[in-house]
Amino acid sequence: MAICAGIAGAALMVYLATSGLWLAWRGLATFGRIVLDLVDGKWLLVAFSPVLLLLRPLRAKLHRYRVKRGIALGRTPASTSFSATPTSSRFASATPS
């Protein structure tokens, strides 16, 4: 379908160029570009929004897991400040009492 549209567009361009109707071709090309931008933007939104809806909660859950284990620095939902000290019990013997 896209190949046929490309061939038809090229044939139309040749016809309009040989007839001296460059302004008509420029108008059609501008209209086509606008339509393509709208359609392309819509399909990009449709294609990527479900992925983003799934990835954001998964990344947040993984980050919370890493923060709880002491692997990464960051905030847990219960805390309001960053913590550089490990909170896991496996580090309990390494911290001075």
- In tens digits, the chain (97 residues) has pLDDT values of 778 888 888 888 788 778 878 787 788 888 888 888 887 777 777 777 777 788 888 989 999 999 888 887 776 555 545 545 455 555 555 555 4
Q: Residue 81: enclosing H or E segment and its boundaries?
A: none
pLDDT score at 48: 74
> Residue 67: which residues within 8 A CB-CB, separation 6 or more?
73, 74, 75, 76
pTM metric for this prediction: 0.33
Q: What are the distances in angstroms from CA 24 to CA 12, 17, 19, 28, 89?
A: 10, 9, 10, 6, 75
